[in-house]
Structure 1
Amino acid sequence: MPFTQSVIVVPNFLLVRSADHVLLGVSWSGLSITETRADGMPVLEAVGDDARLVLTFPPQHLAEETSRREQAAPQFLPSGSGTLVPVWRAALSGPSRLVFRLPRGTTLVPTVDGILQAVGRGRPIPPVSPPGATDTALELPWSMIFSVEDRLGGHAWTSVHPVLPVTVAGVSGLWRARLVADLPDPTAPAQDASLALRAIDRATAQSADPGFSLPLGMVERTRLADNARSRPAPATRLELTSLGGTLSAAGRWDAFEWEHEAVLGRDVRVRTVTSGVLYPLGHRAKYVELSERIFDQTAGHAAVLRSKYVLTVIEPVRHPPPEGPATRAFPFGDVEITTLGYPNIEEAAWQDFTHPVTGRVHRGVYFQPHTPAPNRRPVLFPVRCEASPGDVHFQLPLWFVADVSEPGFTSLTDPALAKHLADTVYTPHTVTLPGLSLDLVRAAQRGGGDVHEVHGITVKGSLQPTGYRPVLSALAVRLPALRTLLGDDELHKVSFTQDYLNQGATQDVLLNLVTPFDICFVGRSDRSGGLVAPRYRVNALSRTEGPVNLDVRPASGAGSIDPARLFPADATLLGFALKDLITDLKAPPAITSELHPGRPPETTMEWKGVKLKENGPFKPADGSTLDLKVTASAAGSDTSCTVHDFALVLPSPSKRLLQLRFASLSFTHHSGGPPRVQVGEVDVTFLGELELLQKLGEAVDLSDTGPRIEVTPAGLVAGYTLPLPVVPAGVFVMRDFALNTEISVPFDGRPVSVSFGFASRENPFTLTVLMFGGGGYLELELDHTGLRRLEGALEFGAMVAVDFVVARGEVHAFGGVRYEMAGSKVTLTGYLRIGGCVEVLGLVTVSVELCITLAYQSTTMALVGRATLVIEIDLTLWSDSIELDSGTWVLAGGGDRERGFAAPRAVPREAAPGLERWRDYQAAFAPVI
């Protein structure tokens, strides 16, 4: 980009000499004509101390487009022959000026030779910034405005140029003005004789690029201008011609390097090196842009500029900072980038940063390294983190943050930039890990809760006194304890608690759960000790207690937890709401794991000495407690749950029918064996309407009777049976009388229930008196909600047998009643069985059995009846049976007011000849509606 119009000097005269291509603009001030030569040329003389001579050169640099070596030409234009020619674009620089002060009395003849002689007698004028219309200003390279100094910091330089054409063998060389230092001390070292270029126009350096890639882009020019303004860049060769300038310069500063080789206005080699760090890890690195002119075969062997972009990590390993929040937020030791060189990345797409406080725009502060097109994607840097028990390897995208130091701003220490990078630029990157056991605390003495099974980490960055440092904003963990106990294999997202980050290993709660969840043993109490089914919400992970709920803990950290805030209604102990039984609660069950590489974790769930209080039917003694311990490891698993010293008053304190006092009730399970329920000393007391059974209960010591254990997926049942011997008393005989009791422990959270039975429906007791007989049973089941089931039946009747030699038979008649209550449903059933059998000479046998039942159903408030008749005939060579069923007959009530027998059950015609006539006969007795 040329100079702005305000700094362009319009020369008064144009010097042209075709023999050696002199083409200069010239102007002067402070000169007066003192005489005229014989040839008519005036002679000018410096009559004051401020006489100036200004030489204006044509553009000294051509900014050419550069591209990657493997890329095709950016454009193809048709040639005169019809073929396409690869084309690279370019832009001309503006003019350059050399300004000299002429000493008083210096004469000048306004010819090419005279002016060039006067330049040799002049002295350069010290530079100013920004340059004025009559100040020395060289635009070489494009959009970089320099002033010339000697390397010692003075302005003793001069222009060495031929006054007359240099001709050899009839050929004149190109005229050039070579700028050299004019040191007064001839003994000075040779390097001190070189020039120095001082940047004097930052605004021009920040001019936008012309729309294509340059060897020295706007960001690099700005960086060069900032550095070469305070410390000029040495130049070993600087020549100006009408065809362009020749430059050899190399500047090295703390955070930036620049090397430039240009011949006759065209770049040969340009190299820049920018120092910075890789965010968020903070490793120091250098970004190199190298552009070289090569004879490119893909461009028809034309000499074009090709560039390569290289990123090099110069600090492979970073050690952890001193103990503090940054160390705790990234629980690793040394952090190493294992690949140091990235020689084939895309050209940096530099991003500017506008400071939110000052409003100043800082150019080219950061960029994200990418692989080149067509598969453009962020570069993934391989990272090794020292961890316990083993190193962690992963890949991470990083951003390059350049070392930028400007008034009021330093890129690597500015909090506003750090916040901008963390909140806006760097997307927190989640790294997937293969379930590594990582010590997240790295304390001197490791605890079981310090090590977690980590499946992912989310990395962010933060600014610390030691520079940019990574932090883990989140981790994805699995909880082996819950996987072992509940089969929970979900990934849980967690983050470090602020208290731990601030205070370190003195804090017990290590991690916050981003999404709280429920630990639920409801319906799976076999995994939590059978007797208890806890359920509670957790939102954090403690180092000693495992999953915990911080919201229910006392604000002061001391005191008890309100069980009603922790446990919902479906969390139970023996079927009672857990929140109503626990008092003086210090913590929920502690669920912890010990992780060991290469073998299963050791998981423990323990809840010890939990004090219980009275609630409803549950009556604890003074020392009533709950103890729970579940362990699982490679050696096996053990479960133990015991409730000590309590009583159950059933169905409720206001309706006392039965009291069971337990010294203890225990559930145990060892791997490889069945679960067991052990009942300590039991005291059974019948109360109220059941007081008549008290003496029988006192005669039965259930604790001395071995239990019958039945385990199913639904629960566990411990049963006791006490058979009584046959009791004969004259004509009275009572047999099959047994006392049964069962304790049912469901695994789905339902309440524990107790049932008692005197005989059973399957095995009723019998009582015979001569030819009369009867029997029955009584069963009841209770839990804390009340009487769940009551069922009993009594049967009576007689049986008579006769034998007349040629014929014999029997006839019987029985009646009975059965009462059944299940919840709110009550069924009362009465039945009558009448039948007989006759056998004649052993050839013909006929038997008849008629059963009539009447039942009251409380749910439908209906009285229903049913009759079944079975007739069997055996004629030696032929036998058959007929069963007639009336179906259900609604006698009264119910939703169906129609009364009558249902259609008899269908019987195949071939199986019962004459059945149709029987049906006709039966239909004749059907009631008429």
Structure 2
Amino acid sequence: MGPFRVVRPADMLVADIGLVNLRWDGHRLVRREPAAPTLILIGLPPQHVLEEVAPPQAATTASPGPMKAFASGASQLVFSVPPEVDGLELSLESLLDWERLVPMTVPVVQPGATPTGLPGSVLEFPTRLLLTYDEPVDWVCPPEPRNADGRTGLWHARLTGERGGEALLRAFARAEDRTPVAERVPLSAADLEALVTLTSRQKLFDTDNAAIVLPSAPLHAEQFIVTPLGASTHLHGAWDDLTEKAAAQLDSIRRNRPNLAAYDHITGLGRDQFVRVVTRGFLCTGHPALLVTEYKRLFVADRDGGVTAYLQREDRILPRVPEVRYGETTGFPHQGREMPFRTLRITDRVTPPIKPVWPPKLPGQDQPLAVEAFWVELQDGSRDHEFTVIGTDHEGRDVSFTIPLVFVPASRAGEFEQLGRLYAPEEAKATSNRLERTLGGQVMAMAKPPADAPGSTSHAVGSLVFQMVPKSDGGEHPLAGTLVVSRAEVQVPALEPFTPNASRVPVRFNTVYVERGMAAHPARAYLDLDAAVDLAFAAEQSGGLARPNAAVKVITSQAGVVPDMFRTDATGAVGAAPMTDIRQAFGAAKLLGFIDLGDLVGDIAGQGLDRLGQLGDNDIQAVLDDDNGRLPAPVLRIRDLENGAGKELRYVWKTGLEPPTLGPQDKPPLLDVDGTVLTLDARTTTSKEAGPTTSVEGRLRHIALNVAGVARVEIAELTFRAVPGSKPDVTASGLELKFDGDLEFINTLRSALPADAFGSGAFVDVQPSGIRTGYTLALPAIGVGVFSLANVSLTAELTIPFEPAKAISLRFSVSERQRPFNVTVSLFGGGGYFSLLVDAEEGIREAEGAIEFGGSAALNLGVASGGVTVMAGVRFEHKGKAVTVGGYLRCNGFLSVLGIVTVSVEFYLELTYEKKDGQSVVRGRGTLTVSVKIAFFSKSVTLSLERSFSGAPGDPTFVDCFDKDTHWEEYCLSFDGDS
């Protein structure tokens, strides 16, 4: 019999009734075929209304206005007429008497099985989710309207379990999408799909045809009452975690993993009153957590003074496991060396209400997908919720800090894309600096210390900067990414006396330590400073001789803080850095005030660095006293003074020097460091009563300096000591000055002198500003026949300054301008001087000299007497870029007759060449003076002439004077004797 609609206005019953295998025999409904199934189908109106969720502000402000609502599809109850019932009355009361009928369920159709073709009961609740019975149930409904106190009750039917308890239901499918729904609804498409996966009892098989074992469990209906206006229900369900095997099997058949952990649903007449959806997931630290989303109907006063009830959403995060452990097998790319914590414990039991994150809705899809990973923010979105975390380091020390975290749904755990995007610097810093966390100076071990050096990797940490990196294959971490520490700010006590920022030094993990472990590094390094710190001493602290400067960058457990002296080759093996990197490491360190120490430091032997950490004070002193002992790298040691007076930092280094590498255009090196050994021992003491004080002791052995190719000074040992409150003490021993090249003849002269330190006139003057050494050699007067040489002295002076702005200089002179030497030969005589100043930077700085010569003759005949004098001289001067060359000739004579008449004549001629700043000038001047004296009368007449000729920087050059393309060959052939 075809379906027909029944409407009973008294109790608002509306139902579509269909009869299967029943016919009217004139008196009652009987079976058409006795052996065929006999069914009664009851079609009910929509039992659920899907409402849009109001925005969060609607709970505290005026009504947000109309919300979208969508009715579910019709539900159908199917009843089987049992064999003992031989007929039914054709009345509404008889057709609604369901207690004698058997409710039919939708059978579970397993893969490969043939469907029965019989209809089953289908309840669309909530909207777009199709439910049926999981076990036998009963329906209880009044066949006739019920009246009380003049009122008629609404028609309804109650679903109960087989023995009157709660009914068990399963979701076997999702209804086809009919019309688009709102984006903000309590149950997403992923939630509905999860309910089907977890309750349908349908067996699933993976690509290997292996059964997938799912944590299947039915929905419990404590109450399920259908009415013409919608169902009044109370459903709930809970499911265990999905095993890793089952998750992998679902991935293999491209089926979404169900995130749903629990579900509660309360409605009244089809309208939602309370919905709880519990989503299983993880915090980005690896802690299993639950996202609890609750929808409640709240009453809000509207603008017109009425009251409207809207659905409001409230989310919270519940960490399921408060503590997670990290280790080598956790999934870190480098066995956990980039994570200084062994455990992280979250103290939050539950978060305050957080900002709801709605799942995205892709184009072409009517319902939104599952929620994606998101930062946990407070409900108003003003800031992140910062979880309180207690981390345990490698030495069992606990540190506490707060950190914002990301929640990752379980279905997204195997995807790194979302995590990587959320932890990208531009995304993580959009609201606040989520990556950097303040620890406030708590002490923690940044790396696992060696067994023989506990506490050697511990620092007071100012902050940690976290980073998300992909998980390594086979790791036990539940997420596709692991949280690691990329950078930090730590306190380095060894640097505090040198830099005011040592309490907050930015560092990152050493590359060798991260990739291969601390044991693979020669000095057991584990941290690198972001920027090298220059340890600089003032020149006056070290006597100006050498500054124990170094740019330290590597923090080690064995040798303290050392320069960055290590590199890895293609195989990953660690060795010493090349010389170029060593030079950079020592930065502006100076030797003798002006020589870059980095240019003289050779490759550092990495094999000796591993023992630096075990050297005690006595061991270090033994190395300093041993001529062959070496400390392959600067050693920084800090110790507490007695009675808590303060701290002492000791900087010790003893190394050999190597000559710098010369290029094709480089000059010979100034220093000869073959066999040179440099020893530095600096101590800085800090105390509460006084500021930091530094004392420096040092020694240079076997060093020589070559000056401009004309002089060489050899120093056997140069020591210096600077102690607070005292004048720096610098001493030198074994100094020897030798001349080379054009001045080598001085060595020959010196060999004739007594064999003491330098010969007569030698001097050595050592001051904190530099060293002056040399001698003045005065030659005795020499007379041989008519030849006489007197007042000759040779002076050589070498200056080694300790100031960076000055260079080594050598001054050599033959006599001086104020004390020229004298030479006479018979009637002729003269004199002169010569002075030369050269330095290691500019070469010749000053040069000057002069020589004069001449003769005189006298005649006396009694009646007349007279005389003639002729003198000539040449002088030159070179100073900087200025050059002056000049010469003169002076002739004078006189004649006197009887003393009455005297005539004298004087002639003077001078020629000078000057060049300064690119300009050259030639000047010439001549003077003739004639004097006549007769008795008491005298008269003089002078005639003068002066001329000058100036050149110009733009004067044509030799090349400019002819065309090289046409005239050059002709010009060259003019010098050919055969042409």
Structure 1 residue 260: Cα displacement: 1.8
Task: Return 394-403 or 600-609, whichever deviates more.
Answer: 600-609
User: In the alignment, which residue of structure 2 is the partner of 1:162?
Assistant: 142
Is 1:459 equivalent to 2:467 in the alignment? yes
Larger CA deviation: 677-686 vs 318-327 = 318-327
Query: Per-residue displacement from partner, 1:337-392 (whole Å, max 9, x unpaired)?
Result: 45554322222234699xxxxxxx9833533333345x555444454545599876
Question: Residues 551-606 of structure 1: CA distance to partner in whole angstroms, max 9, x if unpaired?
Answer: 58696858876536765899997778879866665369846767999999947474
**Which residue number corresponds to residue 656 of structure 2?**
609
Where does 1:375-394 land on structure 2 (aligned, <5 Å)?
375-376=381-382, 378-386=384-392
Q: Distance in 1 between matches of 2:461 and 2:540?
A: 26
CA contact 2:52–2:182 (8 Å) conserved in 1? no
3-state SS of 1:329 partner: coil
Which one-letter code corresponds to 1:21 in the other structure?
A: M
- 1:451 is displaced (CA, Å) by 5.1
CA contact (8 A) 1:320 1:334 kept: yes
Per-residue displacement from partner, 1:840-869 (whole Å, max 9, x unpaired)? xxxxxxxxxx99883443985845459999
2:465 is matched by which residue type in structure 1?
I
For residues 31 and 384 of structure 1, the distance between their equivalents in structure 2, rounded to whole angstroms, comes to 73
Q: What's 1:235 paired with?
A: 221
1:681: how far off?
A: 0.9
Say if 2:246 is the partner of 1:194.
no
SS in 2 for 1:227: helix
Q: How does 1:111-130 map to 2 (within 5 A)?
A: 111-117=91-97, 120-128=100-108
Distance in 1 of aligned mates of 2:513 and 2:60: 59
User: Which AA in structure 2 matches 1:459?
Assistant: Q
> For each residue in 1:396-454, what CA deviation from the matched residue of structure 2 results, as whole angstroms up to 9, or x when unmatched?
332212334xxxxxx54x3xx2x334434432553165895764223142586775976
Q: 1:563 aligns with which of 579, 586, 599?
A: 579
Quote the offset at 1:676 in angstroms. Answer: 6.1
Distance 1:96 1:500 in 2: 63
Q: 3-state SS of the aligned residue for 1:224?
A: helix
User: In 2, Cα distance between the equivalents of 1:893 and 1:304?
Assistant: 98
Which residue of 1 is the match for residue 677 of structure 2? 625
Aligned match of 1:473 in 472, 486, 489?
A: 486
Measured in 2, the distance between the counterparts of 1:69 and 1:701 equals 97
1:427 aligns with 2:436: no
Which residue number in structure 1 is paired with residue 264 of structure 2? Answer: 259
Q: After TM superposition, list the pairs within 5 Å mapping 1:471-870 onto structure 2.
A: 471-475=484-488, 494-497=508-511, 500-508=514-522, 510=525, 544=559, 546-548=562-564, 550=566, 557=573, 563=579, 567=583, 585-586=604-605, 590=633, 602=649, 604=651, 606=653, 608-610=655-657, 616=668, 623-628=675-680, 632=684, 634=686, 635-639=692-696, 642-652=699-709, 657-666=710-719, 669=722, 678-694=731-747, 701=757, 705=763, 707-709=765-767, 711=769, 717-720=770-773, 740-747=797-804, 753-758=808-813, 776=833, 778-783=835-840, 787-794=843-850, 819-821=876-878, 827-828=884-885, 854-857=912-915, 860=918, 862-865=920-923
Find the aligned partners of 2:815 and 2:125 in 1 and give their Cα distance: 112
2:562 partner amino acid: G
Matched residue, 1:244: 230
- The counterpart of 1:57, out of the listed 22, 36, 44, is 44
Distance in 2, matches of 1:821 and 1:257, equals: 99
Q: Distance in 1 between matches of 2:288 and 2:323?
A: 10
Contact 2:11 2:154 in 1 (8 A): yes
Range with greater deviation from structure 2 (546-555 or 246-255): 546-555
Distance 1:28 1:759, change over 3 A: farther
Tell whether the 8 Å contact from 1:832 to 1:851 is kept in structure 2 after alignment: yes
In structure 2, the residue corresponding to 1:142 is in which secondary structure?
coil
- Aligned pairs for 1:358-377 within 5 A: 363-364=370-371, 366-373=373-380, 375-376=381-382
C-alpha change, 1:12 and 1:345, in structure 2 (3 Å) is: same
Instruction: Select 1:146's aligned residue among 126, 131, 144.
Output: 131
Aligned partners of 2:184, 2:491: CA distance in 1, in Å?
Answer: 50
Partner of residue 925, structure 1: none
Tell me, in whole angstroms, the C-alpha distance in 1 between the residues paired with 2:708 and 2:417.
68
In structure 2, distance between residues paired with 1:618 and 1:303? 93
| CA offset digits 1:655-703 (Å, max 9, x no partner) | xx33322213456655666666543311222234323322665667379
- When residues 303 and 747 of structure 1 are mapped into structure 2, their CA distance, relative to the original with a 3 A threshold, is same
Q: Once the 2 structures are TM-superposed, how far is the Cα of residue 177 of structure 1 from its aligned partner?
A: 1.1
Is the alpha carbon distance of 1:25 and 1:484 closer, same or farther for their aligned partners in structure 2, counting shifts above 3 Å? same
Structure 2: segments with no counterpart, 5+ residues = 201-215, 242-260, 363-367, 429-434, 610-631, 663-667, 687-691, 855-869, 892-907, 928-944, 957-979
Separation in 2, partners of 1:549, 1:206: 68
2:317 is equivalent to residue 311 of structure 1? yes
Deviation string, structure 1 residues 23-56 (Cα, Å, up to 9, x no partner) = 11111323344x212xxx6555672242222211
- Equivalent-residue separation in structure 1 for 2:485 and 2:876 (angstroms): 69
User: For each residue in 1:431-479, what CA deviation from the matched residue of structure 2 results, as whole angstroms up to 9, or x when unmatched?
Assistant: 1658957642231425867759766523225544154542123456798
Residues 1:773 and 1:524: Cα distance change in structure 2 (over 3 Å): farther
1:174 aligned residue: 154
> What corresponds to 1:13 in structure 2?
4
Who is 2:192 aligned against?
Answer: 221
Task: Name whichever of 505-514 and 376-385 sits farther off.
Answer: 505-514
Corresponding position of 1:88: 67
Question: For the residues of structure 2 that align with 1:866 and 1:432, how far apart are their CA atoms?
Answer: 84
Distance in 2, Cα, partners of 1:435 & 1:825? 65
Aligned to 1:290: 294
Q: Secondary structure at the match of 2:145?
A: coil
Distance 1:511 1:276, change over 3 A: same
Report the CA distance between 1:516 and its aligned residue.
8.7
Q: Aligned AA for 1:276?
A: G
Q: What TM-score does the superposition give when structure 2 sets the normalisation length?
A: 0.66
| CA displacement at 1:227 relative to structure 2 | 3.0
Assess if the C-alpha contact under 8 Å between 1:481 and 1:604 holds in 2: no
Which segments of 5 or more consecutive residues in structure 1 lack a partner in the other structure?
A: 1-9, 77-84, 150-154, 184-191, 354-360, 405-410, 712-716, 799-812, 835-849, 870-885, 898-929
Give the direction of change, closer, same or farther, for the CA distance of 1:146–1:735 in structure 2 (3 Å limit).
Answer: same
Separation in structure 1 between the aligned mates of residue 470 and residue 839 of structure 2, nearest angstrom? 64
Give the aligned residue type for 1:854: T
Tell me if 1:331 matches 2:378.
no
CA gap of 1:558–1:833, structure 2 versus 1, over 3 A, is farther
Residues 669-678 or 304-313, more deviating: 669-678
> Secondary structure, in 3 states, of the residue corresponding to 1:293?
strand
Partner SS, residue 296 of structure 2 = strand
CA-CA distance at 1:57 after TM superposition: 1.0
Query: What is the CA distance between 1:833 and its match in structure 2?
Result: 12
1:400-419 map, 5 Å: 400-404=407-411, 412=413, 414=414, 417=415, 419=416
Give, in angstroms, the shift of residue 608 of structure 1.
2.1
Aligned residues: 790
Amino acid corresponding to residue 655 of structure 2 in structure 1: K
Greater mean deviation of Cα atoms: 139-148 or 639-648: 639-648
Residue identity (%): 21
Q: Distance in 2 between matches of 1:208 and 1:532?
A: 86
- Distance between the aligned counterparts of 2:652 and 2:165, measured in 1? 83
Shift of 1:204: 3.9
Q: Is the 8 A contact 1:536 1:566 kept in 2?
A: no
Paired residues of 1:754 and 1:782 also in contact (CA < 8 A):
yes
Structure 1 residue 746 displacement after superposition: 4.9
Alpha carbons of structure 1 residues 604 and 101: separation in structure 2 relative to 1, 3 Å: farther
TM superposition shift of 1:292? 2.2
